[in-house]
Amino acid sequence: MSWAFPFLYRQLFVPPPVPTKSFRHQTVIVTGANVGLGLECARHVLRLGASKVILACRNTSKGEEAATELRNSSRCAKDTIEVWQLDLSSYESVGAFARRVINLPRLDVLFANAGIHAVDFTMVEGHEATITTNVISTAYLCFLLCPTLRSTATKFGTQTNIVITSSELYRQAKFVEAQAPEGQIFATMDNGDRSLMEDRYNVSKLIEYFFVRSMAESMPLAQNKVIINCVAPGFCKSRLIREREDSLLIRMSVKALARPTEVGARTLVHAADAGPKSHGQILIDDHVQKDKDIFGGKKEREIQDRLWKELTSILEGIRAGVTKI
């Protein structure tokens, strides 16, 4: 728990600065953009001059409501904001979304922000819902959009970005499923009798971090020009914990500690401006945090490699060749 006191200090007394990076001429996708951090991230990006902002939402009617509110607050042209359907609980939806992206003239930043914090065990697309949404579909989307991000970077002589919204709760993950036999980590998480759901969100964020590290290793910047990182925005007012709002402790914690959503969203925008040093790293607020030995030396590397092998195998099962970037 050595991270707890620095976390509380930053949370209460050190808000991240307002981002100033220009997004002029850029096309940006924000997933989970109709509420919370995604909505405020989109607002920042519009303020900073983005030419096109795509709100990727599971519920497009709510997305259109968010788009109208953003147009009114930013006074941007109506066609600056588009609402596209994206449901991370459906691989078909992810694939259909990616097929639309191919037709874009450019794509500069993917803010992979959408996620869930499930309480109950449910299966979606053959895996536990949190893992399907936060890990598998998010990774699938990143792989599918990489070619467009890479071509944009090459065409315009820049570097493009994938930013995944994570959480410092990855440090609290017990991840008992990592003790499973070779090739069985995801299968163990899919077993309702053996799943530790109170740890599942933390585990999903840890796996996201390991995914970012492994994906960065698989696509060196010299060849790909796509920076991938993840960001921990702190404890923010958000709809993410809606399934736990009946908890008095959660309500009190939100009231006492939670950052305004706009403040948390600043960290996402900063991550898109963190540069090559952030490739494969996690940012705590607006600073690169090079964690080492989360589990301890060789064991950590072994777990990361096992997860990468299993995850890429799952993705190849969804679409052959998708991980060959």
> One of 166, 214, 238, 278 is an active-site residue; which one?
166
Beta-ladder partners of 53: 28, 81
Beta-ladder partners of 231: 165, 283
> One of 91, 137, 195, 205 is an active-site residue; which one?
205
> One of 91, 170, 201, 209 is an active-site residue; which one?
201
Indicate the SS3 state at residue 259.
strand
Whether 140 is a known active-site residue: answer no
CA atoms of 143 and 149, how far apart (whole Å): 10
CA atoms of 292 and 290, how far apart (whole Å): 6
How many angstroms separate the Cα of 150 from the Cα of each of 91, 136, 143, 264, 310? 22, 21, 11, 28, 25
CA atoms of 88 and 137, how far apart (whole Å): 6
CB burial of residue 24 (10 Å; 0-12, 13-18, 19+): exposed
As given in the structure block, the two tokens for residue 312 are: 């890429």
Whether 167 is a known active-site residue: answer no
Whether 201 is a known active-site residue: answer yes
Block residue for tokens 């459906």: 90
Active site residues: 166, 201, 205
